[in-house]
A and B are shown apart, each in its own frame.
Chain A
């Protein structure tokens, strides 16, 4: 198969776009597509200061790499969930990328705060690990933005994440969630940072290829707690449809954006309140995190470690 742009051997076949591309043209294609999403949905404006939520996986490391390459200067934030081996390997991949980009990473360690990893905490809270993980990540990532002056939290969510979540919400008619997912979630001054998903219309397959072609060293092992997760089952089903009928996922997600999003978001803005202790949005008087702190008798001080390659460089230079 030849590259549609230059005739050189292609490295990837994009059936949903009826094309095949070589490495340089594919990289350019995905960057243009992402840039198009950023501009069309006004994800990162000139006066904004973005930070990327990094996990060590292909999606977050690729968007961090790409944003900085495209001229959007962005630091990173990492939540260490205390998962044996997996968390340490993930952080090593993140610091490697931070060194390459010369960007700072804030890291939060759940064990430092509650004395146990996500599995132990989930057992204490009688929740499944993924539910506890989601609650902590959303809260902590918002805190880093509010406390350190970042206006915009960037995540690596892709079309497969969005299509599978949408599929699950439609399957069980979770109307309260329909319409909440979007390419951009606007900020609420002093309470909630803006959240954006530049890879919203890019597939996992495309992002993995981008990571491989740019030698991005990402963690390929799956989070041990995601094994058997419904999200993965939905993704597999959607990918079977996509293989039979290319373009299905993008039609599904674009159709959703067109039909649902604008009508539903105003409703949630009017019903949400703010936590009386920390100011985080909540549907009741106290948010879930503050409730958790109370239950575990913890003074809710979210502290961040900072990994800053520019400081390390200066220190190393001074020592030599």
Chain B
């Protein structure tokens, strides 16, 4: 599966639950929204092999 965040792309071999992935990448769930295959998902969603995962940063200058 491909994981995109802050302009970087990482490859993951094994299925993984989104909140675990966010922990691995040190992503705050208040700052990043997870999307799998271009759809918003909750942090308990399990991303499978072949999925495209994106973390959308939600914070702006204000």
Contacts and interface: CB of A to CB of B under 8 A. Distances in A.
Given A11-B42, A212-B40, 12 more contacts: A11-B40, A12-B42, A57-B60, A164-B62, A204-B58, A205-B31, A207-B58, A209-B33, A212-B35, A213-B40, A236-B31, A243-B30
A226 interface: yes
A262 B57 CA distance: 35
Interface of A: 1, 10-13, 20, 23, 57-59, 130, 157-158, 160-161, 164-165, 203-205, 207-209, 212-213, 220, 222-223, 226, 229, 231-232, 235-236, 239-240, 242-243
Contacts of A160: 59, 62
Given A212-B35, A239-B28, A226 B42 contact: no
Interface residues of B, number: 20
Contacts, number: 77
Contacts of B59: 160, 204, 232, 235-236, 239
Interface SS of chain A: helix
A205 B42 contact: no
Interface of B: 28-31, 33, 35, 39-45, 56-62
Given A1-B42, A212-B35, A232 B61 contact: yes
7 contacts: A1-B44, A10-B42, A11-B42, A12-B40, A13-B42, A57-B60, A207-B58
Contacts of A130: 61
Contacts of A164: 62
B60 A222 contact: yes
A239 B30 CA distance: 6
A205 B62 contact: no
A160 B44 CA distance: 25
A231 B30 contact: no
A79 to B, nearest CB: 14
Nearest to B19: A13
A205 B58 contact: yes
A223 B40 contact: no
B56 A13 contact: no
A200 B33 CA distance: 20
